[in-house]
């Protein structure tokens, strides 16, 4: 085979390979969309089951049955239930951050902003008990206050920090925000455990805010 003939054949093969790749691109895009949709379905199903029956009910067998995919398919997306819970928690942090920002948007004073955000935080915890557990009380693979902390966590904390900074004066805003967050979490935990009087919710919030703006 002459050098010219070899060159012609190489060009033909290269063009054929390029055409095959271009033809395969739509199917690759479709598979990527299907994988993303399946990933989303697993997270949403885990959240639904957890909210209705608790996290103990969220198992690979249960999820496989609910979404009608085999357990090996689940493991292609998540290595175990800890990762599933972490994905649900990330959703929760994103939603909490958005709700905190929305609550603060119409505030007229720093105290009003803190009050609105405290109420939004407590409402979120009450309306999404299982998600809140995944975010703050259950075992987690997520890292807090670290260089690789996910942006959803950073955004939720920053929403609180912006409001707390307005009343921080000379105090360290990050530390004061952690104290505010810890106080809110304490209210959530004690109230859910039946350790607080149920009719004094707003009085507790007002007293908490007074400690930060006085």
pLDDT of residue 73: 87
* Angle, vertex CA 132, rays to CA 130 and CA 133, nearest 5: 65
Instruction: Provide the pLDDT for residue 139.
Output: 79
Query: What domain range is 27 assigned to?
Result: 3-77
The upper half-sphere exposure of residue 37, i.e. CA atoms within 13 Å in the direction of its Cβ, equals 8
Last residue of a domain, one of 41, 56, 77: 77
Question: pTM of this prediction?
Answer: 0.83
Whether 48 and 63 have beta carbons less than 8 Å apart is answered as no
Is the same domain home to 57 and 87?
A: no
Q: Kindly report, residue by residue over 46-83, the tens digit of the pLDDT.
A: 999 999 999 999 999 999 999 888 888 888 999 889 99
**How many domains are contained in the chain?**
2
Report in angstroms the alpha-carbon separations of 15 from 4, 5, 199.
17, 15, 75
Of 77, 99, 118, the residue that ends a domain is: 77
HSE value, Cβ hemisphere, 13 Å, CA-based, for 51: 16
Domain identity same for 122 and 69: no
Q: Are 131 and 98 found together in one domain? A: yes
Please report the pLDDT score of residue 75 as a whole number.
85
Last residue of a domain, one of 77, 109, 140: 77
Q: What is the pLDDT of residues 148-204, one digit of tens each?
A: 999 999 999 999 999 999 999 989 999 999 999 999 999 999 999 999 999 999 999
Say if residues 77 and 42 touch (Cβ distance below 8 Å): yes
CATH classification of the domain holding 157 = 1.10.357.10
Q: From CA 36, how far away is CA 32, in angstroms rounded?
A: 6
């Amino acid at each position: 085979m002459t050098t010219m003939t070899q060159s012609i054949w190489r060009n033909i093969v290269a063009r054929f390979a390029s055409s095959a790749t271009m033809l395969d691109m739509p199917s690759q895009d479709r598979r990527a969309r299907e994988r993303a949709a399946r990933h989303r379905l697993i997270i949403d199903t885990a959240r639904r089951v957890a909210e209705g029956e608790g996290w103990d009910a969220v198992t690979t067998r249960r999820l496989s049955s609910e979404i009608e995919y085999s357990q090996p398919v689940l493991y292609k997306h998540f290595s175990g239930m800890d990762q599933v819970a972490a994905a649900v928690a990330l959703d929760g942090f994103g939603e909490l951050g958005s709700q905190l920002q929305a609550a603060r948007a119409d505030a007229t004073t720093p105290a009003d902003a803190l009050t609105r955000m405290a109420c939004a935080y407590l409402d979120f915890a009450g309306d999404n008990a299982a998600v809140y557990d995944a975010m703050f009380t259950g075992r987690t693979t997520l890292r807090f206050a670290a260089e690789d902390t996910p942006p959803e966590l950073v955004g939720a904390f920053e929403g609180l920090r912006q409001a707390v900074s307005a009343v921080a004066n000379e105090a360290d805003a990050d530390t004061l925000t952690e104290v505010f967050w810890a106080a809110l979490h304490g209210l959530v935990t004690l109230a859910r455990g039946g350790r607080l009087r149920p009719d004094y919710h707003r009085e507790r919030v007002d007293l908490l805010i007074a400690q930060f703006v006085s």
